[in-house]
Amino acid sequence: MTDYLWLLVALPLAGAVVNLFIGRRLGEKVAGWFGFGIVAAAFLIAFFAGVGFLGGDKLAETVLFFSWIPSVGADVAFLWDPLSVLLTLIVTGVGALIHLYSIGYMHGDARFPRFFAFLNLFIASMLILVLASNYALMFVGWELVGLSSYLLISFWFEKPSAAAAGKKAFIVNRIGDWGFLVALMIIFATFGTFDFQTIFAETPVLFGVGAGTITAITLLLFVGAAGKSAQIPLYIWLPDAMEGPTPVSALIHAATMVTAGVFMIARSAVLFDYAPTTAAIVAVVGAATALLAAVIAVAQTDIKKVLAYSTISQLGYMVLAVGVGAYSAGLFHLTTHAFFKALLFLGAGSVIHALAGEQDMRRMGGLRKVMPVTFITMGIAWLSIAGIIPFSGFWSKDEILAATFAKGGWWIGLWAIGIVVALITAFYMTRLFVMTFLGDSRAPEGVHPHESPATMTTPLIILAVFSAGIGGLNTPWQLVFEHYLEPAFAGVMHPAEAEFSTLFWLGAVALLVAVTGIVIAWRRYGRAELPAEDGSFWTNALGAFGVDDFYGRWIVAPGRRVAEWWASVFDPKVIDGGVHGIARLVTGSGDELRILQSGQVRWYASGVAIASVVLLVLFLILGGAF
């Protein structure tokens, strides 16, 4: 089956090209279903090519397409192992559902085919990223993901805020890309290749644990991961990116793009294993991001902003997990999160669609009656992210917390932060759910909410089934997921594991905390009147604690001043001055030399004759005749 792997990237890429150039002629219906079908086909190929890994007897293989830069080990080749299969299935599977949903959601949009072209391009980019067999090709995918996210976030570019959000996402990601790129340079200088398997095989030979080179590489890689996976201090692009159409939020900011950073750390697990300092920094940053974003999410009134900050917070959990060294726990949370967060975004999109573009939760409410499918599926996602047994979020979140706790020492502090985040998560998700679906409608007059069309509800139902059930893949009794991923992390130390009884108590605490959060929020928001939220905490948290203003004042404004100096002083004086100087030199000398161009044939002939004599004499002198 691996013979067909090239189709995984080729199909969405072809879809993008077709939709971009003749999508308008195909019409909305064909363009949309074509875009969806091509991603679904990629999913099926990936599924049949990767299903062998489940049995555990299939070996990882490298599928070479052609040599790109052979001398540096940068081939266009796929590394087909359990890790890349997992990500491919998530990207194409959840991606296909989001395509299907978009057929309904984007109905009637003026640039409908272009939207599907961009979605397909995004899928292709993400697949290059996850399937790459070396850092160089991974970086190509990494950059393409950045490009397609820019195109999708600023899809409604007529809105200045959407255009600005796209630029912001792109520029903030560039900072992360810088880290990744420098890391690649050090990797090449150290190992002389970009190939994953060579690098990971040589690391234990060349270095001891805690080697400075590896620490530098991993720290820079983490800068890249923090950019894509929206961690402190580079998370600020993600909330703004909600300016894109809601399916884009679901695709980029829940299921795929933001997982790239976590995936990259998991892929580089061997390197991070040899840099415990970096791993500790990664874990602390993850926990801090989880806490900060969760607190901000509490006060948001825009339904998509709540989900945006919740995404950042959940990514914090994943980063914490990979920092702890519990890679399979982190990837498991990545998987469950892909399902329930995509579901939450698509559900929110369904609500926004029903309310004719309304995103403020204070003007929602009472939607359970008119939107039963959205209500029930969103309910499952809510319980899942809040961490209620037996929904998927409980199992994956609990595994991360247990792995953190099991490390002992100061890591227990990180576990405590994780528990607090779990409490806050349950609180703000309940707030969102109650404000949106329960109580009476607070929608303005004239808005008549309605259930969304089948193209939109079908993905919701499928995602809800997975959100509810996928946790069963990795319970303390049955570690299917962990065993599946084991070959991908063969060279990595195993994280500390807790006793079963400890696991039980940790799970009980997490569950108790989640229920507490839900009850507090339910009592607060489950009333006819919404509580006033205008205290200093609420306004500060609503404004995301002024981090954006801080960056604006201390980074963007000085940067702008520097750029203005270059634009208003350096460019006109030095650059233009240089160019004008050369031009003046040419015209001036031309004016002086024009007398030579007399138009007289005899004048020219004399020139030739005299020059010949001069040259002749010169050569004779040089030749030593005189």
Instruction: Tell me which residues touch other proteins (CB under 8 A).
Output: 594-602, 605-606, 609
Closest distance between other proteins and the C-beta of residue 621, in Å?
Answer: 20
- Distance in Å, CB of 589 to other proteins, minimum: 13
Question: Helices (DSSP H) in 471-499: which residue ranges?
Answer: 480-485
What is the closest distance, in whole angstroms, from the C-beta atom of residue 587 to other proteins in the complex? 13
C-beta of 59 vs 601, nearer to other proteins: 601
How far apart, in whole angstroms, are the C-alpha atoms of residue 483 and residue 53? 10
Q: In whole angstroms, how close is the CB of 593 to other proteins at the nearest point?
A: 8
Q: Which is nearer to other proteins, 566 or 603 (CB)?
A: 603
**Which residues of 50-195 form beta strands (DSSP E)?**
61-69, 74-80
CB atoms within 10 A of CB 511: 17
Residues β-bridged to residue 479: 474
d(CA 100, CA 459): 7
Nearest to other proteins of 448, 594 (CB atom) = 594
Backbone angles phi, psi at 489, to 5 degrees: -115, 35
Measured from the CB of residue 605, what is the shortest distance to other proteins in angstroms? 5
Residues in the chain: 626
568 vs 606, beta carbon nearer other proteins:
606
Min separation Cβ 588 and other proteins, Å:
15
| Least Cβ distance, residue 186 to other proteins (angstroms) | 60
Residues paired with 64 in a beta bridge: 77
Q: Of 534 and 592, which CB lies nearer to other proteins in the complex structure?
A: 592
For other proteins, the closer CB: 447 or 609: 609
554 or 603: whose CB is closer to other proteins?
A: 603
* Pair of tokens at residue 146: 């950045």
Q: Is residue 131 within 8 Å of residue 5, measured between CB atoms?
A: yes
Helix (H, G, I), strand (E, B) or coil at 270: helix
Least distance (Å) between residue 624 CB and other proteins: 21
Distance CA 95, CA 39 (A): 7
Separation of alpha carbons 51 and 90, rounded Å: 14
* Cα–Cα distance for residue pair 403/478, rounded to 1 Å: 16
Residue whose structure tokens are 């590489």? 217
Closest approach, Cβ 600 to other proteins, in A, equals 6
Nearer to other proteins, 110 or 608 (CB): 608
Backbone angles phi, psi at 134, to 5 degrees: -150, 165
Burial 172-209 (b: 16+ CB within 10 A, else e): bbebbbebbbbbbeebbebbebbbbbebbebbeeebee
Least distance from other proteins to the Cβ atom of residue 590, Å: 9
Q: Which of 155, 81, 83, 86 is nearest to 116 (CA)?
A: 155
Cβ partners under 8 Å of residue 315, min gap 6:
229, 230, 231, 258, 261, 262, 286, 289, 290
CB closer to other proteins, 67 vs 587: 587
DSSP 3-state of 408: coil
Closest among 72, 20, 16, 84 to 46, alpha carbons compared:
84
Q: How far is the CB of 612 from other proteins (least distance, A)?
A: 9
Q: Give least dist CB 607 to other proteins, A.
A: 10
Give the C-alpha separation, 395 to 398, whole Å. Answer: 5
Q: Which is nearer to other proteins, 408 or 607 (CB)?
A: 607
Q: Taking Cα atoms as reference points, which of 153, 115, 98 lies closest to residue 19?
A: 115
